[in-house]
Amino acid sequence: MIELNQENIEFICHVMDELDAIDEAKSGFLKERTLRELAMRLRQVLQPHDSTLMRLFKIFGEKVRVSHLVSGAYLGVVQDLSSPATYAVEFLPEINSDLVSEFWERNKRSGCLPIGTPTPGLPEENFILDSDNPVSLDIFCKTPIAFVGDVIITRFQLVEWAANKKGNAHFDDRRKNSVEEAIDKLWSMNMFTGAGDGRKRIRIIYEMIQIIAKEILRSPALVSMRLRLHPIHEKFGR
């Protein structure tokens, strides 16, 4: 049995509070300020060298394992740069440089840009994790979640962009890298689901940040850990 000291208990309660806040923001409509706050909390949970999740699991001598969306949950489109029109819509098993190149080779179109993201407007009942193949936190952070042109965007890069770019610590536009520019394009693009009266504008950056939050919180290891720590949080938390 692991003996918890006061420092451990205070840290556990802090992380549980943060996970509860992420839980509240992982679904539904978000204002821009709430998006920034969610991204900042996710960055603390995920950041490579000082992850609060890694520290939490280390207290119990365990390693964090996280699940991500199942294969086939991504959508590739060819986006017209001068209008909301899209072409060559395809479901993709995952996002990687080879698949992106193949997708563009099949669907090249002048004046357009290939874009891939998790399926916009993914219904809750279709949000399925690959729970049989959890990965380390480091691999999860490096796993691609989107592409714009030939630029691949990882989960942590998106979280960091949302925490910094839309927060108080703005990137200097003169020092942008290709990933930041690619995410900027996603931020400014109009994406839609449905047709006619049922047509709905999708804020894809918001959706992707919420997807990352759901992936973390619904991973079996995290579900189990939160259940184990709930009595401690109830007893000692604020």
Share of the chain above pLDDT 90, in %: 66
- Residue 15, in any domain of the structure: no
Distances (CA, A) of 197 to 86, 120, 191, 200: 18, 18, 15, 8
Within 13 A of 54's CA, how many CA atoms are on the CB side? 13
- Residue 100, in any domain of the structure: yes
- Residue 221, in any domain of the structure: no
Each residue of 210-234: pLDDT tens digit?
Answer: 999 999 999 999 999 999 999 999 9
- Residue 112, in any domain of the structure: yes
pLDDT of 167 reads 46
The total number of structural domains in the chain stands at 1
User: Tokens 């691609």 map to which residue?
Assistant: 144
Q: Which domain holds residue 117?
A: 74-159+173-202
Residue 230 tokens, joined: 């709930």
Spatial distance between the Cα atoms of 22 and 62, rounded to a whole number of angstroms? 22
**Span of 119-123, 133-137, 138-142 with lowest mean pLDDT:** 119-123
Each residue of 191-213: pLDDT tens digit?
Answer: 655 555 555 566 889 999 999 99
Looking at residues 53-64, what average pLDDT do you find?
94
- Residue 168, in any domain of the structure: no
pLDDT exceeds cutoff 90 at 1: no
Its pTM stands at 0.91
**Span of 53-57, 80-84, 196-200 with lowest mean pLDDT:** 196-200
- Residue 119, in any domain of the structure: yes
pLDDT exceeds cutoff 90 at 141: yes
Neighbouring residues of 85: CB distance < 8 A, sequence distance ≥ 6? 79
Each residue of 91-127: pLDDT tens digit?
Answer: 999 999 999 999 999 999 998 999 999 988 777 777 8
- Residue 93, in any domain of the structure: yes
- Residue 114, in any domain of the structure: yes
